[in-house]
Structure 1
Amino acid sequence: MVIYDPASSVLPKTFISLLIITGLVLTMNGQEFTIEEATIREIQQAFADNKLTSRQLVDFYLNRIQELNPVLRGVVEVNPDARDLADEADREKQSNGGSLGDLHGIPLLVKDTIGTKDKMNTTAGSYALIGSEVARDAGVVERLRKAGAVILGKASLSEWYRIRSINGVPNGWCARSGQGVNPYITSGSPCGSSSGSAISVAANMVAVSLGTETHSSIICPSDHNSVVGLKPTIGLTSRAGVIPCAPRWDTIGPICRTVEDAVYVLDVIAGFDPRDDEATREGSQFIPEGGYKQFLKNEGLKGKRLGVVRSPFVDKLHDSAIAASFEDHLSTLRKRGAIVVDNLHIANIDEILDPHRSGELMVMATDFKISVNAYLKELITSPVRSLTDIITFNQNNPELEKLAEYGQQTFIEAEESTGIGEKEIQVLENLEKLSKEGFEKLMKENDLDALVTPGSRASPILAIGGYPAITVPAGYDSDGMPFGICFGGLRGTEPKLVEIAYGFEQATKVRRPPCFSTSELSLALFGFNIDTVSSEFPIREATVRDIQIAFHQNKLTSKKLVQFYIREIERLNPVLRAVIEVNPDAIKLARKADLEREANATVSRSLLHGIPILVKDNIATKDKMNTTAGSYALLGSVVPRDAGVVVRLRKAGAIILGKASLSEWAHGRSPKAPSGWCARTGQAVNPYVESQDPCGSSTGSAISVAANLAAISLGTETDGSILCPSSFNSVVGIKPTVGLTAEEVPICRTVSDAAYVLDVIVGYDRHDAVATREASKYIPNGGYVQFLKPDGLRGKRLGISNYLYFGFPKNSGISQLFKQPLQTLRQGGAILVDHIKIPNYETIKDSMFIGEQIAMTAELKLSLNAYLKGLITSPVRSLADIIAFNNKFSDLEKIGEYGQDDFLESEKTNGIGELEKKALLNLTRASKYGFERLMGKYKLDALVTPFAQGSPVLAIGGYPGIIVPAGYDEGGTPYGICFGGLRGSEPKLIEIAYGFEQASKVRKPPSFKP
């Protein structure tokens, strides 16, 4: 189960408040312009008045997407060329001396089924089409580009229009972006399938958007997200280049904040397209000379005959507020001159509204197979070429596509269809009859201009007949959930519908933007007021010992504990990006642990029994999860066995909860890639101060523990990868002596928890025989827990350096931050040996940094190639393959932004040659004549360094270190204090770290500051 894309839409209402964006008012040339809620006309006027540029507008929306989309999930991809396109639009305006059309320079999102011939994917929200290449822009996109619109990105949707599994896939969910969230009520449905198009416009992440509709896919999400949705007559807009659902009913239309904006867009996208010849030739006859803008009339309601069918559209409304509001709106329609023809009936309405009974769904599935196969065959390149291929892809990638949760039953039914046969023809004839004898008869006999309905329940009527409709915001229920009013008409009646919808909108002006209030957010947002699983036992911040006591007292079960952490992951991970995957078997494993305890099984006496643990996504698990180092290159690879530490954890009864995110390839791909970023999850976020570095590479392991997404976690360290993220995220990280574990190390909230984990994971491993055999001699009889002594500081000699890089420079900000922690060490009985100097420091420093890089570059290629060759299956088998994969999928892996310089340098190497041997020898000398001599000369038990600044010293010598929370700066960013020692000195380091922790007790839960 891929958790970067959680399916749950049940997020606390306050969750979004943290994501408030400042700077909605732009000042240019001394003049102000408010972008939020601005209409196309207002934006064009701001362009003309030099209050705004297209580039500034695009920057605003990109920032807005960056801030809000981690929660709302309205956007799948942003166009990497959007800023360049905006610059070009600005240049065109300057050279032409003014406006070049209503949409010129206007940013627009298109649904991720609408083809764009650029650097973006067109995937219907599915990973199956990642890397496919369309032959050309969709017809509507060609018209938009010609009009000067800026294609900002791709909007999310219900994956494959929900036709993958009608009863399984939730509205607004797709594998690529996760669950779209209603910006008004986060627990409310965003509806679909054009969910992202509606969410993005509603939340001001874009000016306008395009959606598609087969059956309610524009009308319903517009209704639920308080925006205007216009479903055109079939054929009025081209479907060419759009991933099809059921071409006989598919249409493309605008989703905007106002009727006027929707009409501006319709004027551009409507028209004949030879690539969709039959439909658009028929639809084009309805386009009025002069376009649709002329029908934006304030008095548009005057004289219009509007029909009301109360059963079932009004009588079955469950919300009294909506029912009352609808009656009020009928009164408004009458007051504005409309003639409301009430209490009408549509023949066979129950059959029309039931797509199973009418056969609509059967024909839709058959149409889908025929049309999607044709679409896939026309792609220039594609990983899949048929519906069969898509089904197989999903079966091969069940966690990625959440196959167990949502299924693909409708796909399978569609694949079993054999084309339009007699049965399908009979259904189509019946649907045509239902339309003619139902809706068309109603409209003609009563001389109606439009049918008026609350919400979107009339969509099936409009779908099967290819009729147009417009929905307009009509109000909000008692919980704040939006609802709309829909005006539907006969084919080609868009002019009348525009008049009616615009007249209603101007008379009511109901729409309001989502309320992202700031005051209620900071704490409740990330859920510190939500109920814990057990009212008797508070799970958040609980230690391993606390949890085991709760197990013993029957106040908690492993199942409840796992369910709590999964809920926290679903709630917080969309912003924090700390977890890549959750183990689909986690709850089953928790039940097993509970049964073992109930039976008094002696399977494990470990304190980790029944405890959920996250492991970094480069630690192999032989289960249903991937092991990918955060890269798409390894998706689908199969490891031959659990990593050694995972074997030990499972034997101890721990529950592998999931995989934590990381700096991709442990930050080994390129120095340009930010700490905490990987392609599979994006940029991880520091839970204390969002704008601060979360550090890496074990970023997700530290964030997850800090934010209570897991009890404990494992990371890995080469140089700073445990110590640095632990420091920045206010948690405890232990870097053991090299070989004490295979490579993996604990990150926890307390020193005691870290010691419990260390006791389980250390020891000899035949798969890492040389290193673990050598280090096993350091493991003390009785383990490490015995060194958890409150007076552990007493008598310890601790070295304090004043070197700029490693120490506490005098009269610096660092020395001020650590004044109290150092005092705590003295008060605890430690002897601080101050002003120590590392012999030959400058020489050591240079050889250390240069030599370390040379050695790491060569070893990366050797070790990675060996690992890849040992996999049972893998899309890549060498570093060269990975480099080629990244080049092929450069957008997915952000090669343009971050590159792969270190990979390229490593690939040039030819093993451990003379240069590398010399570098390794220099590193050995630097350790022996630097750190080791220093420790011996001053008889030190540990060297104390601020943050993780001593990590290079510890790295090159394979020395251990422990970092403990030491405080928070003025902005709320955490910082830690690190205790490093000679190989095998973990007992002393644990005594020191635990003594300091118990004396200071600095750690506090995240503050979630911007």
Structure 2
Amino acid sequence: MAAMACATPSVAGQSRGDAVEEVSVDRLQEGMRQGTLTSVAVTRAYLARIAAIDRQGPTLRSVIALNPDALAQAQALDAERRAGRVRGPLHGVPILIKDNIETADRMATTAGSLALKDNVTGRDAPLVAALRRAGAVILGKTNLSEWANIRSTRSMSGWSAVGGLVRNPYALDRTACGSSSGSGAAVAASLAAVAVGTETDGSVVCPSSINGLVGFKPTLGLISRSRIVPISHSQDTPGPMARSVRDAALLLSAMVGPDPGDPATARTTPRDYAAGLSAGALAGKRVGVVRPDDLPAPLAARFDAALAVLRAAGATLVDVTMPKLDGLGTAELVVLKTELKADLDAYLATTPAAVKTRTLAQVIAFNRERADAEMPFFAQELFEQAEKTKGIADPAYRAARATSLRLAGREGIDAMLAAAKAGLLVTPTYGAAWLSDPVHGDQYGGPSASTLPAVAGYPHLTVPMGLMQGLPVGLSFIGTANADADVLSAGYAYEQRAGARVAPRYLPQAAVGPGLEGNRR
């Protein structure tokens, strides 16, 4: 830890990527437009920063693989710009992609597992193809909780056998949360302007909240899920992770669109979500306030301060009570385990011949054979339970899906919106980051806002609301299906007034205040 502390101040400096620290997509684009920056220079700056603080120094381990063709892509996009062609606001901007999403570059898509170390598919997920068309540079892949955190109930978020443990850039001993932990830590540390994560239940909004970011889980079906290592077709969705709502909206806009391979996107049409952002979006709007029970005093204070900002922005706040939704967790788990087996088996059947694990059963066997590498901290009981499920034609599965949809949607979010006569809900996203603990696994504690929108398939945005004892916490904006633009605009209006995001300092441990050492005399 002493060595880490000494290394922290050396993060600054042009040679280590300081030129891109905390720089927005718009500022990068403006520099390239004016000729003071090039995509090649920006890409090199991010690569230098990754070398300085992801591979060395604080050693965040957030980037699992670098794209060997990133600089060539940047050169080609610079040439296009010189020729007068600019594809849009992401032209020449380097981005990172979570390593459960396929890219056609010379990188494997591993989901963090050694079982997929040879999964070099040579194909783009449709969302990646869309980002290329928008002019983005694919800088590399981000580390993640292995298999998107579905292997065990005792997992340690942010750890994978391929990438090791992602560290939180605000306090290196704290979790970066999962499963999009690498995307969260990397964007917080300015290792890229923006990154793509995926969420089944919390895996975009938790690492975003805990790493001081904006994270957006869109309405299910807004972005294609094709060629992404799956958990659940009922709940999986990609989402943007950024340091501002505008950057998240720019990234989202480039990914949205229909995909014949994903029926959920059939009615999706491209849209510029950034163009609709307004600092006055909250004026005259009714907002339902969901205050979880037993909020820790520091988090309650942050939440109260955020509510004051919403009032100052012109919102009418209405307290609503979370309804009793007994059985939701049980029903959701039945759905996730059943769909995991069906969906993962279907995906693995499409992987290259070099991938020898073609079914969930074979992945389980692989993990047992390589337990020292794959299961040094926690087991795979959820995988084993999923393998025993009876398929999506099973009446018990179908009943569980119907129950979870009803409880999360009609009787959950929609009921609270109706009770408040409001268009959206606000609540704390999560508590602050807990210690990374290989013995006991994740120790979530505190509130969690992710489950209802995740199960219902509704939009969920988290926006920074400041630090709690030196650690970031987020404010959630939740709407009903297809209210994505309204949710983003409300979050933007809050963000513009609050200005609550604080850049990380790479502390060896959380700055929780004095008193731990006692008062000896």
Q: TM-score range by the shorter chain?
A: 0.7 to 0.9
Taking the TM superposition and a 5 Å limit, the aligned residue runs for 1:843-858 are 844=325, 846-858=326-338
Asked which structure has the greater RCO (Cα within 8 Å, sep 6+), the reply is 2
1:751 is aligned to 2:240 = no
Number of the residue aligned with 1:726: 208
Change (3 A) 1:811 1:656: closer
Q: Secondary structure at the match of 2:153?
A: coil
Give the greater-gyration-radius structure (CA): 1
Aligned-pair CA distance for 1:529: 3.8
Q: 1:941 aligns with which of 423, 444, 448?
A: 423
Aligned-pair CA distance for 1:528: 2.1
Taking the TM superposition and a 5 Å limit, the aligned residue runs for 1:918-937 are 918-926=399-407, 927-937=409-419
Structure 2: runs of 5+ lacking an equivalent: 225-236, 431-447, 509-521
Number of the residue aligned with 1:955: 454
Q: Is the Cα–Cα contact under 8 Å of residues 618 and 628 in structure 1 kept in the other structure?
A: yes
1:697 is aligned to 2:179 = yes
Change (3 A) 1:810 1:675: closer
Letter of the aligned partner of 1:985 in structure 2?
A
Matched residues in 2 for 1:938 and 1:969: separation? 29
Matched residues in 2 for 1:542 and 1:719: separation? 29
Matched residues in 2 for 1:531 and 1:887: separation? 44
1:548 is aligned to 2:29 = yes
Q: 2:220 aligns with which of 734, 738, 743?
A: 738
Taking the TM superposition and a 5 Å limit, the aligned residue runs for 1:453-468 are none
Number of the residue aligned with 1:814: 299
Number of the residue aligned with 1:988: 486
Compute the TM-score of the two structures, normalised by the length of structure 1: 0.46
1:567 is aligned to 2:48 = yes
Q: Is the Cα–Cα contact under 8 Å of residues 15 and 48 in structure 2 kept in the other structure?
A: no
Letter of the aligned partner of 2:471 in structure 1?
T
Change (3 A) 1:623 1:810: closer
Number of the residue aligned with 1:44: none
Structure 1: runs of 5+ lacking an equivalent: 1-18, 21-515
Q: Is the Cα–Cα contact under 8 Å of residues 213 and 243 in structure 2 kept in the other structure?
A: yes
Residues 931-989 of structure 1: CA deviation (Å, up to 9, x unaligned): 2122123221211110242210101100001111111112x111111101001111111
Q: 1:788 aligns with which of 274, 277, 282?
A: 277
Letter of the aligned partner of 1:998 in structure 2?
Q
Q: Secondary structure at the match of 1:800?
A: strand
Matched residues in 1 for 2:151 and 2:429: separation? 24
Change (3 A) 1:517 1:883: closer
Number of the residue aligned with 2:352: 872
Aligned-pair CA distance for 1:533: 6.3
Matched residues in 1 for 2:279 and 2:4: separation? 45
Matched residues in 1 for 2:391 and 2:116: separation? 23
Aligned-pair CA distance for 1:812: 4.1
Matched residues in 1 for 2:480 and 2:297: separation? 28
Root-mean-square deviation (Å): 1.7
Matched residues in 2 for 1:803 and 1:613: separation? 35
Residues 684-735 of structure 1: CA deviation (Å, up to 9, x unaligned): 1000011222111000001100001111100001100000000000011011
Q: Is the Cα–Cα contact under 8 Å of residues 220 and 458 in structure 2 kept in the other structure?
A: yes
1:584 is aligned to 2:68 = yes
Aligned-pair CA distance for 1:1001: 1.0
Q: 1:539 aligns with which of 20, 35, 45?
A: 20
Number of the residue aligned with 2:371: 890
Q: Secondary structure at the match of 1:965?
A: strand
Matched residues in 2 for 1:891 and 1:621: separation? 29
1:911 is aligned to 2:402 = no
Matched residues in 1 for 2:180 and 2:174: separation? 16
Letter of the aligned partner of 1:909 in structure 2?
T
Matched residues in 2 for 1:930 and 1:962: separation? 17
Q: Is the Cα–Cα contact under 8 Å of residues 16 and 49 in structure 2 kept in the other structure?
A: no
Change (3 A) 1:763 1:540: same
Residues 170-224 of structure 1: CA deviation (Å, up to 9, x unaligned): xxxxxxxxxxxxxxxxxxxxxxxxxxxxxxxxxxxxxxxxxxxxxxxxxxxxxxx
Q: Is the Cα–Cα contact under 8 Å of residues 726 and 733 in structure 1 kept in the other structure?
A: yes
Q: Is the Cα–Cα contact under 8 Å of residues 150 and 383 in structure 2 kept in the other structure?
A: yes
Matched residues in 1 for 2:287 and 2:406: separation? 23
Q: 1:760 aligns with which of 254, 263, 281?
A: 254
Q: 2:382 aligns with which of 893, 899, 902?
A: 902
Q: Secondary structure at the match of 1:825?
A: helix
Aligned-pair CA distance for 1:640: 5.9
1:1002 is aligned to 2:483 = no
Matched residues in 1 for 2:292 and 2:39: separation? 48
Q: 1:965 aligns with which of 464, 477, 483?
A: 464
Number of the residue aligned with 1:979: 477
Change (3 A) 1:560 1:576: same
Q: Is the Cα–Cα contact under 8 Å of residues 198 and 204 in structure 2 kept in the other structure?
A: yes
Letter of the aligned partner of 1:763 in structure 2?
G
Residues 583-628 of structure 1: CA deviation (Å, up to 9, x unaligned): 00001111111111111125x2x10110101000000012200001
Number of the residue aligned with 1:861: 341
Q: Is the Cα–Cα contact under 8 Å of residues 467 and 502 in structure 2 kept in the other structure?
A: no
Q: Is the Cα–Cα contact under 8 Å of residues 168 and 175 in structure 2 kept in the other structure?
A: yes
Matched residues in 2 for 1:795 and 1:561: separation? 41
Aligned-pair CA distance for 1:817: 2.4
Matched residues in 1 for 2:368 and 2:208: separation? 33
Q: Secondary structure at the match of 1:962?
A: strand
Q: Is the Cα–Cα contact under 8 Å of residues 640 and 871 in structure 1 kept in the other structure?
A: no
Matched residues in 1 for 2:266 and 2:351: separation? 25
Aligned-pair CA distance for 1:810: 7.0
Q: Is the Cα–Cα contact under 8 Å of residues 166 and 175 in structure 2 kept in the other structure?
A: no
Q: Secondary structure at the match of 1:576?
A: coil
1:831 is aligned to 2:327 = no
Number of the residue aligned with 1:598: 82
Taking the TM superposition and a 5 Å limit, the aligned residue runs for 1:91-106 are none
Letter of the aligned partner of 2:359 in structure 1?
S
1:676 is aligned to 2:164 = no
Q: Is the Cα–Cα contact under 8 Å of residues 17 and 46 in structure 2 kept in the other structure?
A: no
Aligned-pair CA distance for 1:517: 9.4
Residues 634-663 of structure 1: CA deviation (Å, up to 9, x unaligned): 011232621010010011110111000100
Compute the TM-score of the two structures, normalised by the length of structure 2: 0.88
Matched residues in 2 for 1:546 and 1:568: separation? 18
Matched residues in 2 for 1:882 and 1:850: separation? 25
Q: Is the Cα–Cα contact under 8 Å of residues 299 and 468 in structure 2 kept in the other structure?
A: no
Letter of the aligned partner of 2:385 in structure 1?
E
Letter of the aligned partner of 1:560 in structure 2?
A
Matched residues in 2 for 1:853 and 1:810: separation? 26
Matched residues in 2 for 1:939 and 1:995: separation? 20
Q: Is the Cα–Cα contact under 8 Å of residues 640 and 870 in structure 1 kept in the other structure?
A: no
Taking the TM superposition and a 5 Å limit, the aligned residue runs for 1:358-397 are none
Q: Is the Cα–Cα contact under 8 Å of residues 670 and 903 in structure 1 kept in the other structure?
A: yes
Number of the residue aligned with 1:153: none
Aligned-pair CA distance for 1:747: 0.3
Matched residues in 1 for 2:389 and 2:118: separation? 28
Matched residues in 2 for 1:546 and 1:694: separation? 27
Tell me the number of residue pairs that the alignment of Structure 1 and Structure 2 aligns: 473
Letter of the aligned partner of 1:965 in structure 2?
P
Residues 805-844 of structure 1: CA deviation (Å, up to 9, x unaligned): xxxx57844322212111111111111112x124xx22x1
